[in-house]
Amino acid sequence: MKREQWGSRAGFILAAVGSAIGLGNIWRFPYMAYENGGGAFFIPYLFAMISAGIPFMIMEFSLGHKLRGAAPRAFAKMGGKLEWLGWFQVFIAAIIAVYYVAIIGWAISYLGYSFGQSWGSDTNAFFFSEYLQLGENSPSSLGSLQLHIAIPMALAWGITFAAIYTGVKGGIERASKIMMPLLFLMVIALIGRVVFLPGAMDGLNYLFQPDFSKILDAKVWSAAYGQIFFTLSVGFAIMIAYSSYLPEKSDINNNAFMTVLINCGFSITAGVLIFGVLGYMAQEQAKPLTDVVSAGVGLAFVTIPAAINLLPLPFILGPLFFLALVVAGLSSHISIIEAVTSAIIDKLNWSRKKAASVVCGTGFVVSLAFATNGGLLLLDLVDYFINNVALLSSCLIELVVIAWLFKISDVRDYVNNISEFSIGKWFEVCIRFLSPAMLAVILATNLINTFK
Ligand code: PFF
Ligand code: NA
């Protein structure tokens, strides 16, 4: 059977960007930047982007392109019994898929609430007690299924399933071509309104004001590298699967640069949006900005709803924000599921329709664990493990295996041959020495901190 192919170069880039841009860009990046030195965070972040993000993306694109397989097959074709590494990555992708979809489900619910701000004035109590049912007075026990969460999650699975089932070109590519331009337009519309609000500039000053004392802190570097790998969807079989559908003639270097730069540019844009809103909120409530910033889940589902209550035209800006979150999340979820599905198609020779049905069906059932009262607890746990251990070790193993067992100069020759512009020797230095050294130190630090 002939391998499926992307219909166009733009289609591939939009799909890769769709994978990269996700929940992580909207609620993770702004807070990470703020926490880790504000403007000073951009130095480690850009360093990680150039020294690890871009080389890693080029490497994964070239693997998929040359070896024409999802991660397990691609690694198997390298010889040296490496198929397990592909399955390890697919396994982690599957874990990410089931908790990531829970957050998309919440965002779908909140999209619904946002039209009338039905979260009320106490958005904290609403999210934790009413929505997640975590309050002390919550009648249900830890394991009970919350249908109002399960239903939007099922909807998210349905959309992902439709895209995967339909195929690379007709499903994933078509979805990306609709979703990504829509996402960009929505974010531009939001920013266009938000930056003119009183106090917005104070928020931006806060985000971009560098705290250089943090730049020597190892934690800040660890955060920057962790964020780069997470945000670029590398190390988890995703970009290998996507690039395995590239046509013979493909400009790998250019595609990789575009994907990375669009993603990181989007992150900074999202930072402007979030901190513009937070600055406005601080001014409205006459509070210092430090009192209104919050992290991750709390940022999107407690702070932003509270800010939407204060915004002009809340019934427009609110839905725009949550629809953006849903779209960003879904396009990433599709890519994570494709990484799993394509691996199964390669291995078992199943039809795409069968593999998509089994993967999404099983995924849906497993993800229901996150629609129980214990969901948030479990999510925090899994998220911590993924970000601090699994992601970094998977990337490190991949680097060590590829860079030390194989000639990385061959990879460079390969991509330079088919690309319009060539990458220099720095690529080899980054892949062989710099990135593995950085990853090893960060991983060791995280492990020590975890078990301390
Ligand atoms: N890159 C996406 C984000 O930043 O949200 C989604 C993602 C895909 C995260 C794959 C992690 C991952 F392993
Ligand atoms: Na996405």
Domains of the chain: 9-451 (1.20.1740)
Task: Give the pLDDT score at 293.
Answer: 84
Least confident of 183-197, 222-236, 308-322: 222-236
Q: From its phi and psi, is residue 233 left (phi > 0), alpha (psi between -120 and 50) or beta?
A: left
Task: Give the pLDDT score at 218.
Answer: 84
- Cα of 182 vs centre of ligand 1, distance in Å, is 19
Give residue-wise pLDDT tens across range 146-199: 999 999 999 999 999 999 999 999 999 999 999 999 999 999 999 999 999 999
Predicted confidence band at 415 (pLDDT cuts at 50, 70, 90)?
Answer: very high
Q: Is the pLDDT of residue 452 over 80?
A: no
- Cα of 262 vs centre of ligand 1, distance in Å, is 15
Predicted confidence band at 139 (pLDDT cuts at 50, 70, 90)?
Answer: low
* 3-state SS track over 257-313: HHHHHHHHHHHHHHHHHHHHHHHHHHHHCCCCHHHHCCCHHHHHHHHHHHHHHHCCC
- Cα of 159 vs centre of ligand 1, distance in Å, is 18
Of 221 and 181, the one with more pLDDT = 181
227 lines ligand 1 (CB under 6 A): no
Task: Give the pLDDT score at 141.
Answer: 58
Q: Which ligand is nearest to the CA of 337?
A: 1
Task: Give the pLDDT score at 66.
Answer: 95
- Cα of 450 vs centre of ligand 1, distance in Å, is 22
Average pLDDT of the residues in 393-416? 89
Atom of ligand 1 nearest to the CA of 386: 13
Average pLDDT of the residues in 11-23? 97
Task: Give the pLDDT score at 136.
Answer: 61
Task: Give the pLDDT score at 379.
Answer: 86
Give residue-wise pLDDT tens across range 264-302: 999 999 999 999 999 999 999 999 988 888 777 888 999
Q: Is the pLDDT of residue 12 over 80?
A: yes
Q: Which two tokens stand for residue 135?
A: 């309050």
230 lines ligand 1 (CB under 6 A): yes
Decide: residue 348, CB within 10 A, 0-12 exposed, 13-18 middle, 19+ buried: exposed
In this structure, which residue's CA is closest to atom 10 in ligand 1? 233
